[in-house]
Amino acid sequence: MKRWIGRKADIELAQQIARTHQLHPLVARIVAARGYDIESTQAFLSPSRAQLHDPFLMHDMHKAVARIQDAIVRKETVMIFGDYDVDGVSSVTILVKTLRKLGVDPLWRVPDRFCEGYGIRPQAVIDAKEQGVHLIITVDNGIAALEAADLARTSEIDLIVTDHHHIGHQLPDAYALVHPALGDYPFPELCGAGVAFKLAQALLGVFPEELLEVVALATIADQVPLIGENRIFVKEGLRQINRSPSVGIHALADVANSKQGVTSTRVAFQLAPRINAIGRLAHAKRAVELLLADDPQEAQRLALEAHALNQKRQAIQEHIYQSALAQIEEHAWTDQTLVVAGESWHEGVIGIVAGKLTQNLYKPTLCLSIKDGVAKGSGRSVPGVDLYALLQAVQAQTSVFTAFGGHAAAAGFSLPADRINDLRSAWATVAQGIEWEPPHIDVDAPLHVHELTPQFITDLKRLEPFGQANPEPIFFLRDVHIGDVQTMGAKQQHLRARVKEGTGPSYSLVAFGEGERIAQWLERTQRHVLVHVEENRYRDMAQIQMRWVEAK
């Protein structure tokens, strides 16, 4: 059971925000507790394009635009090189659509996760040279591609890097480096597609309305903070998805059963996993083809393929997760960090398994797949523990990795399979003495059932979109009655109930993943509960609904 910690709010400030911005008092309290004052609340509640920054403020943007324009005039062959996740394929989509609008049909490429791995490699430059490419533009990768940049230069290919990842000690010797954390760009938190969108805007000379849905998709999926420019992209992009989506995204939303309306939550849990599943189990070029699709039948076929791959991914993920739990139980490991490994565990899924183990066991975890004497791994960490720094310390101590990279929360690596025990020992050693906060849930505010009014729901929606740095609010219900409990879902894996406070009205409560605990729910009808509150639409009827988070 996690600790419940209430967010502290300046009540006087909350009251001022409520009066100034005509907000429900409870919603104003949430805004105040999240660090906004009266002035900044206006920008937060009403994000607009006027708040966006000039794309030419970004490092090397002028240089990149001039080179691309020169390539267009000279009719040079241009290649866009992306990545296999949602951010990577969205970034490719943005620049392909942009260049086509400018009269160029570029070559594009996303690497194979299993054969090539992340980022542009020298072989990709060699292949581009053979295809007569004069200019390569990387999206969502390239800031660490030192060898590829050197080879491009000697091969007389200009390389423009657009990326947002961690900047290392050495920069690639590229023609231009377009990166929000280089130079003085005011908002360094863009995802790869956000950077590509800025480049598209600079090239087109107008705001690219039609690309908002794609940049919103990537921004949510890549879990960058939903503040500043990211919040504007997502707010406007979701509006576009719900009003006039492209053929590909319409098909994707259709197979994901998001007809009620696409929200940031539905993107994160329904749309993005289906796109990611393509790159995890097959080749991500199919995801780009889906996002670029013009033909509804072709888009539907690709979306159904993504849906099927996602179902397969879920089954593989659950099998590996259960195998990892059995391994942990068998060895009775008590270290504050974990290393689990399995023969031929699917490389495309081990990162998700590492994340689930980290979340449920609250330990920094490395999950490895062993094949042909090589172990490839993915790691996830808990808040406050820098995973990349730990891997650096392991490498300094043992030189066990043949390759590794990542950031504070997630990382990937490879090593000889016969050195896994060396890794396990060093991993435990470097983590000794590191302490982190026990798991907790930040509770935004106490809630009484009688406060669930239409105005409250309307004002709560003004805080959307929810995501990193702007989580969906969590409310505390004290000593409420829970009745009419029943299972739902294809495998009866979820619960539905009614929540009531005193003699007041009852409201629907859904508890995803709680189906197996129905006996406990039936046993205790009076509980303290943490919930999300949302509006559920069914057959054009809107109803207030709560989603269970945790209960005591």
pLDDT in tens, 182-216: 999 999 999 999 999 999 999 999 999 999 999 99
Q: Which band of pLDDT confidence, cut at 50, 70 and 90, is reported for residue 398?
A: very high
**Residues 466 and 400 grouped into a single domain:** no
Examine the fold and report which residue of 373, 399, 431 is the final residue of a domain before the chain moves on.
Answer: 431
In a domain, 302, yes or no: no
In a domain, 390, yes or no: yes
467 conformational bin, left if phi > 0, alpha if psi -120 to 50, beta if neither = left
In a domain, 463, yes or no: yes
266 has pLDDT over 80: yes
Q: Which band of pLDDT confidence, cut at 50, 70 and 90, is reported for residue 539?
A: low
**Total domains in the fold of the chain:** 3
pLDDT above 70 covers what percent of the chain? 99
- Please give the average per-residue pLDDT across 450-458, as a whole number: 90
* Paired residues of 79 in beta bridges: 107, 136
**Residues 114 and 203 grouped into a single domain:** yes
In a domain, 240, yes or no: no
Instruction: Read off the amino acid at residue 484.
Output: D
**Residues 358 and 386 grouped into a single domain:** yes
Q: Is the pTM of this model over 0.85?
A: yes
In a domain, 386, yes or no: yes
Q: What is the number of other CB atoms lying within 10 angstroms of the CB of residue 200?
A: 26
Examine the fold and report which residue of 376, 400, 431 is the final residue of a domain before the chain moves on.
Answer: 431
CATH number for the domain spanning 403: value is 3.10.310.30
Looking at residue 259, what is its pLDDT?
A: 62
Instruction: Read off the amino acid at residue 282.
Output: A
CA distance linking residue 216 with residue 193, whole number of Å: 9
* CB neighbour list of residue 75: distance below 8 Å, 6 or more residues apart: 104
Looking at residue 504, what is its pLDDT?
A: 80
CA distance linking residue 218 with residue 199, whole number of Å: 15
**Residues 452 and 376 grouped into a single domain:** no
541 has pLDDT over 80: no
Looking at residue 533, what is its pLDDT?
A: 95
**Residues 345 and 368 grouped into a single domain:** yes
In a domain, 227, yes or no: no
- Please give the average per-residue pLDDT across 499-519, as a whole number: 89
69-77 contacts: CB < 8 A, separation 24 or more? 69/203, 71/104, 71/134, 71/135, 72/99, 72/102, 72/103, 72/104, 74/134, 75/104, 76/134, 76/135, 77/106, 77/107, 77/131, 77/132, 77/133, 77/134, 77/135
CATH number for the domain spanning 503: value is 2.40.50.460
Angle, CA 254 vertex, CA 251 and CA 256 arms, to 5°: 110
CATH number for the domain spanning 176: value is 3.90.1640.30
Q: What is the number of other CB atoms lying within 10 angstroms of the CB of residue 322?
A: 11
**Residues 218 and 131 grouped into a single domain:** yes
Q: Which tens digit of pLDDT belongs to each residue from 223-255?
A: 999 999 999 999 999 999 999 999 999 999 999
CA distance linking residue 359 with residue 212, whole number of Å: 32
Q: Which band of pLDDT confidence, cut at 50, 70 and 90, is reported for residue 125?
A: very high
**Residues 184 and 208 grouped into a single domain:** yes
- Please give the average per-residue pLDDT across 536-548, as a whole number: 81
| CA 252 to the chain's CA centroid | 17
CA distance linking residue 397 with residue 272, whole number of Å: 38
Q: Which band of pLDDT confidence, cut at 50, 70 and 90, is reported for residue 334?
A: confident
**Residues 406 and 487 grouped into a single domain:** no
**Between the CA of residue 292 and those of 89, 194, 288, 333, 527, what are the distances in Å?**
10, 18, 6, 48, 49
**Residues 364 and 489 grouped into a single domain:** no
**Residues 478 and 369 grouped into a single domain:** no
307 has pLDDT over 90: yes
Q: Which band of pLDDT confidence, cut at 50, 70 and 90, is reported for residue 332?
A: confident
In a domain, 529, yes or no: yes
* DSSP per-residue letters across 471-522: PPP-EEEEEEEEEEEEEESTTS-EEEEEEE-TTS-EEEEEETT-GGGHHHHH
In a domain, 321, yes or no: no
Short-list 228, 235, 218, 221, CA closest to 462: 235
Instruction: Provide the residue range defining the domain that includes 512.
Output: 441-551
540 has pLDDT over 80: no
Q: Report helix, strand and coil shares of the chain as percent, to nearest 5.
A: 45, 20, 35
284 φ/ψ angles, rounded to the nearest 5 degrees:
-70, -10
**Residues 401 and 472 grouped into a single domain:** no
Examine the fold and report which residue of 198, 222, 246 is the final residue of a domain before the chain moves on.
Answer: 222
Query: What average pLDDT does the chain have?
Result: 93
**Residues 365 and 476 grouped into a single domain:** no
Q: Which band of pLDDT confidence, cut at 50, 70 and 90, is reported for residue 530?
A: very high
Looking at residue 192, what is its pLDDT?
A: 97
